[in-house]
């Protein structure tokens, strides 16, 4: 049976970089599912891996003819790699999958079942973390904030209530193509991307089924903190105001100003998360000092942070950080005093 002449429902796009320890399980989770393999395709972008990831992928390709491999001549990151995968994808719907993670049993069957029964532009599904004890319930917490009302959606997203990942959403490919949505270069490229996908979608559907398994890897981007991640997260959040679909929806300056306080609340939340991550992930005091110096300098030249009337714990921690370091050098003694002072906000 000729695979190329068959209708593909879902294109699964996987960027891969040095994933020799996880890519086999990732691909097994796809091809072990009880579903006709002609209904989906797997597009793997090998982002110039230096280990034997490509060899493992090629061994799978020998068994399954619905795998396509794109080899990058240099490392370009997951966002740009996904862009390359999207350009060749043939499916009606797109599912992004990270090479560290895997799909739940029968998840593709569940997704295709919903596609056949309902009309939607995006389908938001549940997931679990590898360290989670809530296997039946799942870990997604933002369902109640997802809405088809665009102004409410913008308010909720700006306030930091929605998950900013693309991997927990099935997306109709025409939404991406018709609106020319592409991933930017910087880290946390998911945030402006999924925001624009939400805004361009007229019909959003939510399901409680667990589709995705997110692995907590020690050396992943989410478990490391450096200047690149600090600038990436804060830049991604600032870029939300430049998303073209947002500017079309909020086309009057007076209306746009109403959303700026929600955007600032979300920005404050990003800063607070970076402060907590620096305390949690970075054991070397010298590196913590470097990160705090960079974070302080980055936000000092920004006008996004404001004191909100009803300050949340995130706002309080962010404002405390600015107040604490605004005078004098950021040195070991001052950082240690700050770390002690921050304990009052954890209660």
Residue 223: the pLDDT is 62
Residue 344: the pLDDT is 80
- Average pLDDT of the residues in 249-276: 84
**φ and ψ at 84, to 5 degrees?**
-65, -40
**Is pLDDT at 304 greater than 80 in this prediction?**
no
What confidence tier does 187 reach under pLDDT thresholds 50, 70, 90? Answer: confident
Report percent pLDDT > 70 for the chain. Answer: 90
**Is pLDDT at 270 greater than 80 in this prediction?**
yes
Q: At 6, list the tokens.
A: 């068959």
pLDDT in tens, 306-330: 665 556 788 888 888 988 998 888 9
**φ and ψ at 209, to 5 degrees?**
-60, 140
**Is pLDDT at 4 greater than 70 in this prediction?**
no
Residue 185: the pLDDT is 84
- Average pLDDT of the residues in 209-229: 80
Mean residue pLDDT of the chain comes to 89
What confidence tier does 2 reach under pLDDT thresholds 50, 70, 90? Answer: very low
- Average pLDDT of the residues in 232-246: 92
CA–CA dist 328, 325 (Å, integer): 7
- Average pLDDT of the residues in 252-264: 78
Of 315, 322, 323, 325, which Cα lies nearest the Cα of 345?
315
> With contact defined as beta carbons under 8 Å apart, do 118 and 205 qualify?
yes
Please state the CATH superfamily assignment of the domain spanning residues 3-218 in this structure. Spore Coat Polysaccharide Biosynthesis Protein SpsA; Chain A (3.90.550.10)
> With contact defined as beta carbons under 8 Å apart, do 43 and 85 qualify?
yes
Beta-sheet strand order (sheet of 122-129): 67-71, 40-46, 10-16, 93-96, 169-172, 122-129, 204-214, 102-103
Of the listed ranges 60-69, 93-102, 260-269, the least confidently predicted one is 260-269
Q: Read out DSSP for 42-87?
A: EEEEE-S-SSSHHHHHHHHHHH-TTEEEEE-SS--HHHHHHHHHHH
Q: At 316, list the tokens.
A: 């309080």
Instruction: Spell out the domain ranges in the chain.
Output: 3-218, 252-345
Of 58, 70, 65, which Cα lies nearest the Cα of 20?
58
CA–CA dist 252, 249 (Å, integer): 9
What confidence tier does 218 reach under pLDDT thresholds 50, 70, 90? Answer: low
**Is pLDDT at 135 greater than 70 in this prediction?**
no
Residue 12: beta bridge partners?
A: 42, 95
**Is pLDDT at 287 greater than 70 in this prediction?**
yes
pLDDT in tens, 6-18: 689 999 999 999 9
Place of tokens 């369902």: 143
Place of tokens 């393999």: 37
What confidence tier does 58 reach under pLDDT thresholds 50, 70, 90? Answer: very high
- Average pLDDT of the residues in 222-248: 88
More confident residue, 250 or 333: 333
Strands 93-96 and 67-71: unpaired
What kind and span of H or E run contains 139?
none
Report percent pLDDT > 90 for the chain. Answer: 72
**Is pLDDT at 134 greater than 60 in this prediction?**
no
Residue 103: the pLDDT is 95
**Is pLDDT at 1 greater than 90 in this prediction?**
no
Q: At 79, list the tokens.
A: 């966002």
């Amino acid at each position: 049976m000729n695979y190329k002449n068959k209708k593909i429902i879902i294109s699964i796009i996987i960027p891969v970089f040095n994933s020799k320890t996880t890519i086999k399980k990732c691909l097994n989770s796809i091809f072990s599912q009880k579903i006709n393999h002609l209904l989906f395709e797997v597009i793997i972008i090998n982002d110039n891996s230096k280990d034997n990831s490509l060899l493992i992928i090629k061994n799978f390709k020998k068994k399954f003819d619905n795998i396509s491999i794109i080899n990058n001549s240099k490392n370009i990151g997951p966002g740009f790699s996904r862009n390359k995968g999207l350009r060749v994808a043939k499916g009606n719907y797109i599912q992004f999958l990270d090479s560290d993670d895997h799909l739940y049993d029968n998840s593709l069957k569940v997704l295709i079942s919903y596609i056949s029964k309902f009309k939607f532009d995006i389908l938001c599904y549940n997931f679990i973390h590898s360290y989670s004890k809530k296997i039946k319930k799942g870990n997604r917490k933002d369902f109640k904030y997802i809405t088809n009302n665009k102004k409410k959606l913008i308010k909720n997203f700006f306030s930091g209530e929605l998950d900013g990942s693309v991997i927990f959403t099935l997306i109709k490919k025409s939404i991406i193509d018709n609106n020319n949505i592409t991933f930017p270069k910087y880290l946390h490229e998911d945030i402006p991307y999924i925001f624009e996908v939400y805004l361009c979608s007229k019909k959003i559907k939510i399901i409680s089924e667990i589709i995705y398994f997110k692995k907590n890897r020690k050396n992943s981007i989410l478990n490391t903190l450096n200047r690149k991640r600090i600038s990436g997260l804060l830049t991604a959040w600032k870029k939300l105001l430049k998303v073209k679909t947002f500017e079309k929806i909020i086309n009057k300056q007076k209306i746009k100003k109403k959303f700026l306080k929600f955007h600032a609340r979300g920005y404050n939340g990003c800063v607070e998360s970076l402060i907590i991550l620096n305390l949690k992930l970075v054991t070397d005091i010298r590196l913590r000092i470097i990160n705090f110096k960079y974070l302080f300098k980055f936000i000092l030249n920004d006008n996004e942070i404001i004191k909100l009337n009803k300050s949340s714990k995130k706002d309080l921690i962010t404002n405390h950080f600015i107040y604490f370091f605004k005078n004098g050098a950021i040195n070991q003694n001052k950082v240690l005093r700050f770390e002690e002072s921050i304990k009052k906000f954890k209660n």
